[in-house]
Each structure stands twice: as C-alpha cells, then as structure tokens.
Structure 1
Amino acid sequence: MKDRRTFIKEAGLAGLAGLLPVNILSASDLEIDKAFKNSNPNAKWADGSRLVVSVSMQFEAGGQPVNAESPFPQNMQKGFIDLPGDSWYQYGYKEGIPRMLDNWDKLGIKVTSHMVGSAALKNPDLAKEIVARGHEAAAHGMDWATQYSMPYETEKKIIKDGADAIKKVTGFEPVGYNANWLRRGTNTLEILQELGFKYHIDDLSRDEPFLLKVKGKDFAVVPYTIRCNDIVLIEGKNFSADQFVRQVILEFDQLYKESEKKRRQMSISFHDRIGGTPQMVAATTEIISYIQKHKGVSFKRKDEIARMAYEDKSIIRE
C-alpha cells in the first residue's frame, strides 16, 4: 500500500481533485499538500551524517521571578517568599549544570545552552565555563518575560538586553533564540533578524531544519521538542527517569529508520534544575551511549545546524 505522500506525488493534486467529491478536499488537506510540495523527501545532511541529534541545556535558574512555578503547591500567601521553591532553582546552578557539563565531556558531545540573561549575570563564572567547554551560548530573553503581548520596541529591548548580557559575561555573541515557553509573538522573527540572530527554535512543526522568509531574507528554524523534554515529562510528573529513557530511545529508533531515506533531526532538551539531577544525568548517559552505538549519527550545536541549513541548497523553504 502506498503512503499518502507517494500517492499525492504520483496522482497530483489536480488529479486527486477530479477523483474525489469537492467537499472532501478541506482547507487542512490543501495545507498538508502544500507542506508536501515544500518538502524534499530525498534530501540528506550535506556533511554525510545519517541523523543529527541536537541537545539543549537550558540555563534559567537564577533568572526566575519571585515565587516562580516549582514542585511545591502554588499556595503561597501574598507578601511571602517561597524559600524551598527558590532553593529548587538554586540547585540548577549549584549542582545541575556543573554535573551536566562533566557528563557532556565524558560523553564527548557539545550542546546548545539557551541562557536567560539575568541568570548569566547572576552566575557569570558558570556561564563562562559553559562556553569555555565548547558549548553554544544562545539567548533566552533577559528574564521570564511574556513577550508575545509586548509592543515591538519593548520586546526588542528584552531580547537585546538578554543577548548583550550573555556576550558581556561569556564573550560569545548569541545567534540563536528561544522565547519563554516557546511563546514568541507576531513581531519576534522580524526583531531577531533586525538584531542579527540567525535562527530560532520556537517551532515544533518538523523533524528537520528549514528556512523561512522574513522581510524577504532567509531565517533558519532549528525545531525544538516537547516530546523529549525533561520539563514536560519529568517535572510535569508524567514520567519517571526510566520512562524518559524509553521515550527518547523510541523516538531515536523511529527517526533513525526514517533517516535512511531523508534528512532527520532529533532534539532532546534538559533544564538546569531537572536534567542535572543525579537520576537524570544517569538516564542521559544511558540514552546518549545507546545513540552513539549507531553509525552515521552526529551531535551538533544548534548554530552548526543553522549554518548547514543556510548552505544546503536542498533545504526546505517555507
């Protein structure tokens, strides 16, 4: 039996329209067909990789607002500070990131660290160490701002301030961006392009990078994940560490099969106070060690993936 992509390619949308009643071809069908036309099912990674894995290490602890969400009940009375909740965040920069950094070295991979500007300013030595160990410093706003509701200039300021803070502390100029909970606004991409950014990750629509046109110029999208993400699965109380391992390995196995015929990217995301716990670092070691046993898999920072997207003539364009 042919899959839908093959059927549409062979029959063509016009031929399909002639075979089916008009009311069957919905707007969603047309959007799906448009997506198929914009894809390149035979494209591979230009450097010869069979599958590229992108790992995120979010550096947020220390930049959170007062009484931010934590594992504790959200029932603090007004005027008081959630001290145990605050200590949960402190774990991220006191234990979590240092433990993950040692583990990345042990595993021999480089990651992308999206840093909240105020978190980097609060722990400058740790931010410097991340870059010194060869990892990418990417921007994550100045603080936990709800930027999608901001006027253009206000949003531009919080993005720029965060990036400037990272560069001031680490010497690394961020070219990638991640909005708070991925919730960018309608102006965000234009602002990022204006500020010199090269890519963003606030998109879940594909399992490979692609290019958008923003004011007539190319802008890269390096897709993120909520499926293989510790804050959703572990802190969301949905999974245990061993279930997380199983989930991510299942994801890898399927993408690895698909990568035999087309370009595939796998994303995995860890947060300082969650992914840096002993059990999760052990789980991460099991996952990465399993992936590394497969031929043709490479681990790349997101700035490297974006650079490859710009240089690849077969990249998907939307």
Structure 2
Amino acid sequence: MSEPRHTTSHRDFAGYRGRPPNPRWPNGARVAVSLVVNFEEGSEFSVNDGDANNEAIYEVVHRLDGPDSCIDSHFEYGTRAAWWRIMDLFDAHGVKVTVSSCGRAVERSPELARDAIARGHEVSAHGWRWQSHADMDEASEREVIVNTVAAIERVTGQRPVGWHTRSATSPNTRRLLVEHGGFLYDSDAYNDDLPYYRDVAGKQHLVLPYAFDTNDMQYYNASRFNGADFADYVIDAFEWLKREGETAPKMMSVGLHLRMIGRPGRIGALERILAHITASGAAWIAPRAAIARHWMTAVPAGV
C-alpha cells in the first residue's frame, strides 16, 4: 500500500523532547490551572433564529429539520440560570477564569459579558458563531475575527487578547489572528501540557493548549458520565500534574459550558474540583491572559 502524498506539514511530534522549560509559576505553584467557561448560548444554529439547521450537538437525541424550541430552550438555560450559579461559585472560592465568548452570544446577552468583567474574569474570543472554521474562505474568516473582537470590545470596554476556535481551524486561522494584531495567544491546539511558541507570519506567537478530556462536554459524549465521574477525573489529572510539577511545573485546562456544568446535578462536581485545587497549595488558578503574560516573561520567545 503506497503512502499518501502530502504538502508541507506543520505538525510537530517532538515538542519539548522531555526537557520542558520551567515557567516558575507564581508562589512556587506546581500547576497553573486555567478554568475556561465557554459562553456560546445564542450563537448556536437555530431555525427559529433564521438558520437553515439547528445545532446538532447536545444531550437530546430527537432532531428536527424545522424549528426546535426544545433544543433552543436547553441553550437558554445556560444564560437564564446556569451563569449565575457558576459565577457565584467562582466568587465563593475566590478564583478568576477565562470566559471564552462567541461574539454573537455577547451581543445577545451583553449583561453577562459585563458581569464577567465586573467579577474580574477575562473575556476572550471564541468566534462569532459556535462553528468550525475548517471550510471558511480567508475573507469570511477575517470578517469573523474582526466582528468578534469588535462585539466583545463594544460590550465590555475591553479588547479580547485570546482566541479559541470551535473544533477545527482553517489553514489561515492563526496567521489571520497574528495579522489582525492584539492577540496574546490562541488555544487552537490540544498537544501539550505547557504553552509554546510558533513562528507565524514572521512573528513568535504563543499557543496555550486546551483539552477535551478535562472538559464537561464529556456529559454529552458519555451518557453515564455523572458529576462524581467528572470531579474524580479532573482531580486525578490535577494530582498527576502536581506530582510531575515537583520538578517540571505544568499547565492544566478545565473546559466548562454553562448549559452543561451549570445544571443542579452537576454543579457539585465543579464545587469539589474548586475545593480540592484551592486547598492543595500547589496551584495557581488564573485566566489564560495572565498565564500568557507570565509565560512571555518567564520563558521569552527565542530563548
């Protein structure tokens, strides 16, 4: 069987080759913990909003070609009830997070984005709609980036400095982010436990990898995955990285969604996670922008 032919590859299988840099996280932390709340409600596809199709990823299994008030209301739960439950829990534990926000969601629920800023959280960019960029042409993707940044800045008074695309990017995404300017980092990678730089359009661009396993979307992916399962998994991941962090400090991402973790039967898992990590004495819980700024100082590009 012949091997397929490829164009120039940008894949990197080596990474730090087992010799990662020491970022010297604040207060001697072994693990920098990034909690990411994905704020997507109102940006999903909905026939009731004039789209051709409804969003296909959620916990309900009955799909309609026409208007679907059932799935619409599932997303609405995130902004109506879950937001306040989650944000109050963060306040109770004194942690600051990144709210990864779709531009259209911010535009439709501006009070939530403003509430995030008032509580001291970072509002980063998560695209205009909750959609993949894989098949976008360059002009359309450039417009998406511009509109997303403008909406967040208009509503919050702060320009987003981080970006994360839903699922697959296009071949142009990272270059367009660099060309647009103003971004400290993107999170469009899942390939490491530490940030790293990439040469993009002649500039050293910082990547803060994200994670799908320590992510509450597992409630969708595994129907029997309950609150205790999620808390145990995230805590196990933290404990392992804490052990490695004795000699090689790491970074850990925990992905959260309003309509997932914000349900009464699941929020207790987040409470357990926060209580465990904050009591460990080994974690620095910080927004991704703060982690990026620290990394750029502790591990400068090109060193």
The two structures have a TM-score, normalised by structure 1, of: 0.84
2:87 is aligned with 1:101: yes
Which range is displaced more, 47-56 or 108-117? Answer: 47-56
Query: Which residue is 2:136 aligned to?
Result: 150
CA distance in 1: counterparts of 2:132 and 2:269, whole angstroms: 32
2:199 is aligned with 1:213: yes
Greater helix percent: which structure?
Answer: 1
2:48 is aligned with 1:65: no
User: Which amino acid in the other structure matches residue 68 of structure 1?
Assistant: E
SS of the aligned residue for 2:127 comes to coil
Query: Which residue is 1:15 aligned to?
Result: none
Q: Judge conservation of contact 1:209–1:220 (CA < 8 Å) in 2.
A: yes
Q: Of 189, 212, 227, which aligns to 2:174?
A: 189
Q: Of 279, 286, 296, which aligns to 1:293?
A: 279
CA distance in 1: counterparts of 2:302 and 2:228, whole angstroms: 35
User: Which amino acid in the other structure matches residue 137 of structure 2?
Assistant: P
User: Which amino acid in the other structure matches residue 61 of structure 2?
Assistant: P
**Mapping 1:230-269, distance limit 5 Å:** 230-231=216-217, 233-238=218-223, 239-269=225-255
Residue 184 of structure 1: CA displacement? Answer: 1.0
Q: Judge conservation of contact 1:43–1:314 (CA < 8 Å) in 2.
A: no
Which range is displaced more, 100-109 or 207-216? Answer: 207-216
Q: Of 262, 277, 283, which aligns to 2:269?
A: 283
In the TM superposition, what whole-angstrom CA distance separates every residue of 1:54-88 from its partner, at most 9, and x where no partner exists? 00000001111112123222431x3x211111100
**Mapping 1:125-204, distance limit 5 Å:** 125-181=111-167, 183-196=168-181, 197-204=183-190
Q: Residues 50, 165 of structure 1: CA spacing in aligned structure 2 closer, same or farther, 3 A cutoff? A: same
CA distance in 2: counterparts of 1:278 and 1:75, whole angstroms: 25
In the TM superposition, what whole-angstrom CA distance separates every residue of 1:110-156 from its partner, at most 9, and x where no partner exists? 00001111111111111111111100000011112332211212101
Q: Judge conservation of contact 1:43–1:315 (CA < 8 Å) in 2.
A: no
CA distance in 2: counterparts of 1:85 and 1:316, whole angstroms: 48
Query: Which residue is 2:29 aligned to?
Result: 49
Query: Which residue is 2:9 aligned to?
Result: none
Give the paired residue count.
Answer: 281
User: Which amino acid in the other structure matches residue 209 of structure 2?
Assistant: P
Structure 1, unpaired ranges of 5+: 1-30
Q: Judge conservation of contact 2:21–2:299 (CA < 8 Å) in 1.
A: no
Q: Judge conservation of contact 2:22–2:249 (CA < 8 Å) in 1.
A: yes
Q: Residues 113, 292 of structure 1: CA spacing in aligned structure 2 closer, same or farther, 3 A cutoff? A: same
User: Which amino acid in the other structure matches residue 75 of structure 1?
Assistant: R
Q: Residues 144, 68 of structure 1: CA spacing in aligned structure 2 closer, same or farther, 3 A cutoff? A: same
Q: Judge conservation of contact 2:23–2:299 (CA < 8 Å) in 1.
A: no
Structure 2, unpaired ranges of 5+: 1-11, 47-53
CA distance in 2: counterparts of 1:205 and 1:304, whole angstroms: 21
Q: Judge conservation of contact 2:197–2:207 (CA < 8 Å) in 1.
A: yes
Query: Which residue is 1:24 aligned to?
Result: none
User: Which amino acid in the other structure matches residue 211 of structure 1?
Assistant: Y
Residue 169 of structure 1: CA displacement? Answer: 0.8
Q: CA RMSD in A?
A: 1.8
Q: Residues 54, 88 of structure 1: CA spacing in aligned structure 2 closer, same or farther, 3 A cutoff? A: same
2:15 is aligned with 1:35: yes
Q: Residues 249, 46 of structure 1: CA spacing in aligned structure 2 closer, same or farther, 3 A cutoff? A: closer
